[in-house]
């Protein structure tokens, strides 16, 4: 259970991609992003929320994310981790200099997320939408000598989520706020999850986008999956994170982003920050 790393990165990336408050895109409009993220950790949160050291492990993901407006009410969403690299550094004795554990790595595609969003309500005061998300078991569920280097958990999950966004002003500056909550049904004996979070953001001179976000996952602890404690996709993972994101529009449609995410608390997950950056195309 000390090696829960890919799931954290994929969940965070899927729900916090740069998209203006998750308002529906509108027919023919879209948002497309190619990004990379990195997390390196030498300690983790245990099942009792304490921190323990571990062999240095890392996660590097190159991903593609897309939102496209099929109609004024319906958007389709896709998150595809094109390359998921999970690795472990070699462990060397400080006294003898001997190698205790060799370094190793696994490279493959990760678990793909697909979704569809329906705009329930949208006006000048608020936007309410519902999203159905499907997690496909396209990653590798076992890798490395002990099987703990994984890029997928081997289970098909289904999630539903409600997003409520509100535009507002501080002085003459246009802002937005958003909150969301959702339920993630996991199969193959994995516990179901409650997910919630929020963000606030603004855009300056149609060039610079700033946002502060938080994502949370809580386990229902209702699964009986065993043997996942030593894998990347552990059962009963929980976390609260906080992130800051900045985006810069090079042109009216093309831009770049950078995101820093820190873990405030967790269970069965790494205690280390995630760095990500990417290039996006915003068509509206």
Helices (DSSP H) in 4-163: which residue ranges? Answer: 6-15
List the pLDDT tens digit at each of the 284 positions of the chain. Answer: 444 444 444 444 444 443 444 578 999 999 999 999 999 999 989 889 999 998 899 999 999 999 999 999 999 999 999 999 999 988 776 777 677 777 899 999 999 999 999 999 998 899 999 999 999 999 998 888 877 888 888 899 999 999 999 999 999 999 999 999 999 999 999 999 999 999 999 999 999 999 999 999 999 999 988 655 434 577 899 999 999 999 999 999 999 999 999 999 999 888 999 999 999 999 98
For residue 258, the model assigns a pLDDT of 98
101 bridge partner residues? 91
**Residue 94 gets which letter from DSSP?**
T
For residue 260, the model assigns a pLDDT of 98
For residue 231, the model assigns a pLDDT of 41
For residue 198, the model assigns a pLDDT of 97
Pairing of strands 30-45, 274-283: antiparallel
DSSP reduced 3-state for 218: strand
Chain CA centroid to CA 190, Å: 19
For residue 118, the model assigns a pLDDT of 97
CA distance 223 to 210: 38
| 8 Å CB contact between 18 and 257 | yes
CA distance 197 to 179: 6
For residue 20, the model assigns a pLDDT of 40
| 8 Å CB contact between 90 and 102 | yes
For residue 12, the model assigns a pLDDT of 42
DSSP reduced 3-state for 14: helix
Chain CA centroid to CA 69, Å: 22
Beta strands in the chain (DSSP E): 30-45, 51-69, 74-88, 91-92, 99-101, 104-108, 112-122, 127-136, 157-170, 173-185, 193-204, 208-219, 238-249, 254-267, 269-270, 274-283
Structure-derived torsion over alpha carbons of residues 10, 13, 14, 17, reported in degrees to the nearest 10:
-170
For residue 153, the model assigns a pLDDT of 87
Q: Which two tokens stand for residue 50?
A: 């304490």
Number of C-beta neighbours around residue 182 at 10 A: 20
Specify the pTM: 0.88
For residue 16, the model assigns a pLDDT of 41
For residue 17, the model assigns a pLDDT of 42
Token look-up 């690795």 returns: 87
């Amino acid at each position: 259970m000390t090696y829960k790393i890919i799931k954290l990165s994929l969940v965070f990336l899927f729900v916090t991609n740069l998209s203006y408050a998750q308002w529906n895109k509108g027919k023919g409009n879209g948002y497309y992003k190619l990004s990379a993220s990195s997390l390196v950790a030498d300690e983790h949160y245990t099942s009792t929320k304490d921190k323990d050291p571990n062999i240095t492990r890392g996660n590097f993901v190159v991903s593609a994310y897309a939102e496209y407006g099929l109609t004024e009410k319906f958007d389709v969403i896709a998150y595809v981790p094109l390359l998921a690299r999970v690795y472990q550094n070699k462990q060397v004795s400080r006294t003898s200099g001997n190698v205790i554990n060799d370094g190793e790595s696994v490279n493959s595609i990760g678990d793909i997320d697909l979704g569809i969003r329906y705009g329930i309500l949208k006006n000048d005061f608020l936007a309410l939408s519902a999203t159905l998300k499907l997690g496909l078991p396209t990653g590798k569920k076992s890798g490395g000598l002990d099987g703990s280097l994984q890029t997928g958990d081997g289970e098909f999950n289904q999630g539903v989520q409600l997003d409520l966004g509100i535009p507002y002003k501080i002085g003459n500056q246009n802002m937005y706020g958003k909150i969301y909550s959702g339920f993630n049904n996991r199969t193959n004996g994995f516990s179901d999850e409650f997910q919630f979070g929020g963000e606030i953001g603004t855009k300056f001179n149609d060039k610079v986008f700033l946002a502060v976000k938080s994502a949370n996952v809580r386990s229902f602890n209702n699964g009986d999956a065993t043997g996942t404690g030593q894998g990347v996709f552990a059962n009963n993972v929980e976390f609260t994170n906080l992130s800051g994101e900045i985006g810069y529009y090079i042109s009216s449609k093309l831009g770049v982003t950078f995101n820093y995410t820190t873990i405030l608390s967790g269970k069965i997950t790494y205690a280390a920050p995630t760095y990500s950056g990417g290039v996006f195309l915003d068509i509206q």
